[in-house]
Chain A
């Protein structure tokens, strides 16, 4: 088994959205939003039933950059950058048999219904976790 991180973005610097799917969620109807949320909930349940679900989380769009600024000094902050930067909206960690299966799961998530009940064709970022060093490696 191998773990993968599926990343959802509010906005990202990745591939261009599929034409016709640019509308943000607040441009949908309330019913379309409910249908979307239901689909996402069922998706997580299905993965759990298959024994592939590890964890998930949703992130607020408000974030700030922080760094050390020397001994005895308070941390330096920069931001928030809600409007411009690549912005992660949420993540799901799955533990699956193969990369193919990870892509299949990501594609299913990307098919969540949006405006008019049509799939949103959302680009999801799939990142493999580094594996544990195996006891038999030597």
Chain B
């Protein structure tokens, strides 16, 4: 078996095997260690002698490792017998395990960073080294973060499936990490959310989140230039948008909205769908977008939503109306000055626009964003100069 095949297979199977062990009652942290040890053996043996049934092989080895670990603790002997005695799983159980594992990895007692790392490893099947590279931290740091997370949830009870909303929040955060490197975290988040959609249809917000991710990810090729500069939505080359992904996102969203149980992810996805639907920036249906923002403001008290709503008001009722709404929002928000600058520019107040773009650049939270805002200053200064001549 080729090394790449082995890696791919291990990646797919590891979370499944972990799910089986956990469902049979094994302690999450101990089971995760057992699966990691089994993977090390698989990486050693499979290239030369591939097993006929890789999943059964992994399950057997991981089960043995688990028992080894549990023997060391007499108190766990009861559970050991239970794990040992149960018959092998049928194929239908696998999907239930996804929600089971995710609810453990996204337990509310974990910090977001810990939940993200644990989810990517235990459910996403990524190696610690891959996760470390994706977040630009040393591997030892990431290994420590993961083992601390496992220790944190060891004492927690998991009698009922965890809060689906907590899981969705972690998946949303993974999607928004957006580093591009060897591992695309956006793709990982979509993959995991897809799995969750297949596993559980209890909450239409699951499909809402998947739709939101697809409808945003469809624009990825247009969002940055070759030199990694930010391209705002109204200037993107819409021919680069992934129309089949948009189609899928819209279909998923419609299915969710049909359940008539609105939530913030569905509302955000609806806004993204309206943007994706416009053949050009000028043809954007801003009145309908504003209606969705009004809905969103009712669903969440997020100040970022309020800030984006001010932009929509500016598009529908004019920049002065947008500025009036902005005046009621906390100017301490990172993107407040960028929105103010945009609205002042549209209102024809170049001097104030320049001032706010400058402040916004100094307050930017990423380098592409900072460069983009500095360029807005540069553009307005050049325009003002040529008009002055």
Q: Which residues of A are at the interface with B, using a C-beta cutoff of 8 A?
A: 25-30, 32-34, 37-38, 41, 58, 60-62, 82
- B336 CB to closest chain A CB (Å) equals 14
Residues on B with beta carbons closer than 8 Å to the beta carbon of A61: 362
Residues on B with beta carbons closer than 8 Å to the beta carbon of A38: 227
A82–B362 CB distance below 8 A: yes
A26–B378 CB distance below 8 A: yes
Interface of B is mostly: helix
* One of B225, B358, B362, B378 near A29 (C-beta < 8 A): B378
B362–A25 CB distance below 8 A: no
- B354 CB to closest chain A CB (Å) equals 8
B358–A26 CB distance below 8 A: yes
A60–B364 CB distance below 8 A: yes
B227–A27 CB distance below 8 A: no
B371–A37 CB distance below 8 A: yes
CB of B198 within 8 Å of the partner chain = no
Q: Which residues of B are at the interface with A, using a C-beta cutoff of 8 A?
A: 225, 227-229, 358, 361-365, 367, 370-371, 374-375, 377-379, 381-382
Residues on A with beta carbons closer than 8 Å to the beta carbon of B365: 60
A29–B382 CB distance below 8 A: yes
A62–B227 CB distance below 8 A: no
- A90 CB to closest chain B CB (Å) equals 8
Residues on B with beta carbons closer than 8 Å to the beta carbon of A33: 371, 374-375, 378
Residues on B with beta carbons closer than 8 Å to the beta carbon of A58: 367
B378–A28 CB distance below 8 A: yes
Which chain A residue has the least Cβ–Cβ distance from B375?
A: A30
Q: Known pairs A26-B381, A27-B381; list 15 more (Cβ under 8 Å).
A: A25-B374, A26-B358, A26-B361, A26-B377, A26-B378, A29-B378, A30-B375, A30-B379, A30-B382, A34-B225, A34-B227, A37-B228, A60-B365, A60-B370, A61-B362
Which chain B residue has the least Cβ–Cβ distance from A33?
A: B375
**Can you report 12 residue pairs joining A to B where beta carbons are below 8 Å apart?**
A26-B358, A26-B377, A27-B378, A27-B381, A29-B378, A30-B378, A33-B375, A33-B378, A37-B371, A60-B363, A60-B365, A62-B363
Q: What separation, in Å, do the CA atoms of A25 and B358 have in the docked complex?
A: 11
Pairs of residues from A and B, 3 with the lowest C-beta to C-beta distance, nearest first: A26-B377, A30-B375, A58-B367
Which chain A residue has the least Cβ–Cβ distance from B225?
A: A34
Residues on B with beta carbons closer than 8 Å to the beta carbon of A82: 362
Residues on A with beta carbons closer than 8 Å to the beta carbon of B228: 37, 41
Which chain B residue has the least Cβ–Cβ distance from A90?
A: B367
Residues on B with beta carbons closer than 8 Å to the beta carbon of A26: 358, 361, 374, 377-378, 381
- B377 CB to closest chain A CB (Å) equals 4
* Residue among A30, A32, A34, A41 with the highest chain B CB neighbour number at 10 A: A30
Which chain A residue has the least Cβ–Cβ distance from B226?
A: A38
Residues on B with beta carbons closer than 8 Å to the beta carbon of A27: 378, 381
A34–B229 CB distance below 8 A: yes
Q: What separation, in Å, do the CA atoms of A58 and B229 have in the docked complex?
A: 15
